[in-house]
């Protein structure tokens, strides 16, 4: 597998990975400048030459994976003095770490709007868990970051999601919508709870919650009708775009502020590139 194919596969699946690049080669080295490999938690793809250099590079890459954050680092490896390799050159290696997808979305319903919405959400840096009791409603193939969950009782799937997940409820039955919404709210840790429907539907649901002795604080997190008011329309794709826009706006607001300086500074880069070759 070519390194760029590995990156595409891992990124699409929402997995963390590190691109390892020989950005400087002096003297005798296993591979030339520009050689790349990709390291994930369980696998590595391509090679920067094998031997102790590649072994140490993989160790460093997996250390970066533990932080599960986007960052870049540069390491300089004198092959003879530091790594004990026969070639006496040196290699400057760039490590580019990419975090796993932190956005987990559970979508209930594989109807017309569900299909349109799943196609949009699958293009985001997320893990999409798509739930319905009707296997025939799902398309034959889905994106690699999408998991089809066919389950007789969709409510049972809710417990499998991590904290701060996004939940979108649009099943084919109003009683099921209510049961799903209630179960999600009982968790108390959802980042987003969206329920498809009109104001009338939501008023009826609120009356049912109150009849069950729930306070308004319990159901306050629910967004119903969900979606951006700036994106009207009743066609499945129009509704899907509106909901996707609301979710994107929400999770983007939760992202930490971007620091003024990112990655490797030019001063550090210039110093590393200028380091002399260590000979045996």
Q: Per-residue pLDDT for 279 more than 60?
A: no
Residues spanned by the domain of 58: 3-100
Strand-pair partners of 96: 19, 72
120 and 242 housed in the same domain:
yes
189 and 58 housed in the same domain:
no
Q: Per the structure, how many domains does the chain have? A: 2
Residue 266 lies in a domain: no
Biggest alpha carbon–alpha carbon distance for the chain: 81
CA dihedral in degrees (149, 189, 115, 235; nearest 10)? 160
pTM: 0.75
- Decide: 56 and 48 in contact? Cβ < 8 Å: no
Domain boundary among 78, 100, 122: 100
Q: Per-residue pLDDT for 83 more than 70?
A: no
44 and 123 housed in the same domain:
no
107 and 227 housed in the same domain:
yes
Tell me what pLDDT residue 79 has: 72
15 and 30 housed in the same domain:
yes
107 and 96 housed in the same domain:
no
- Using CA atoms, how far apart are residues 166 and 103, in angstroms rounded to an integer? 8
Q: Which of 64-73, 104-113, 127-136, 176-185 has the lowest mean pLDDT?
A: 64-73
Q: Per-residue pLDDT for 30 more than 50?
A: yes
Residue 272 lies in a domain: no
Q: What CATH number is attached to the domain comprising 248?
A: 3.40.50.720
Residue 270 lies in a domain: no
Residue 278 lies in a domain: no
43 and 125 housed in the same domain:
no
Instruction: Enumerate helices (H) and strands (E) in the chain, giving the number of each.
Output: 8, 11
Residue 111 lies in a domain: yes
Give pLDDT tens digits for 128-145.
999 999 999 999 999 989
State which of 50-54, 101-105, 265-269 shows the largest mean pLDDT.
101-105
CA angle at residue 173 from 168 to 179, to 5 degrees? 60
110 and 248 housed in the same domain:
yes
162 and 230 housed in the same domain:
yes
118 and 247 housed in the same domain:
yes
Note the residue count of the chain: 280
- Using CA atoms, how far apart are residues 86 and 151, in angstroms rounded to an integer? 58
Give pLDDT tens digits for 181-210.
999 999 999 999 999 999 999 999 999 999
């Amino acid at each position: 597998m070519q390194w760029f194919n590995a990156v595409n596969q891992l990124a699409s699946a929402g997995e963390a990975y590190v691109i390892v690049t020989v950005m400087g080669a002096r003297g005798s080295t296993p591979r030339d400048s520009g050689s790349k490999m990709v390291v994930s938690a369980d696998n590595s793809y391509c090679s920067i030459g094998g031997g102790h250099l590649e072994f140490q590079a993989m160790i460093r890459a997996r250390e970066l994976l533990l932080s599960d954050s986007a960052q870049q680092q540069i390491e300089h490896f004198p092959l003879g003095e530091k790594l004990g390799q026969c070639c006496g050159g040196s290699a400057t290696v760039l490590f580019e770490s990419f975090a796993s997808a932190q956005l987990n979305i559970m979508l209930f319903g594989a109807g017309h709007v569900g299909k349109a919405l799943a196609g949009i959400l699958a293009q985001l840096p997320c893990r999409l868990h798509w739930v319905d009791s009707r296997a025939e409603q799902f398309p034959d193939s889905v994106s690699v970051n999408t998991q089809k969950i066919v389950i007789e009782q969709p409510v049972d799937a809710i417990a499998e999601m991590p904290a701060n997940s996004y939940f979108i409820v649009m099943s084919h039955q109003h009683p099921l919508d209510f049961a799903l919404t209630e179960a999600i709210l009982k968790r108390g840790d959802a980042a987003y709870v969206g329920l498809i429907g009109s104001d009338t539907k939501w008023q009826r649901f609120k009356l049912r919650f109150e009849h069950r002795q729930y306070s308004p604080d319990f159901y306050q997190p629910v967004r119903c009708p969900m979606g951006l008011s700036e994106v009207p329309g009743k066609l499945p794709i129009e509704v899907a775009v509106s909901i996707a826009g609301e979710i994107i706006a929400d999770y983007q607001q939760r992202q930490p502020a971007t620091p003024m300086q990112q990655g490797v500074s030019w001063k550090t880069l210039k110093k590393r590139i200028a380091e002399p070759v260590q000979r045996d």
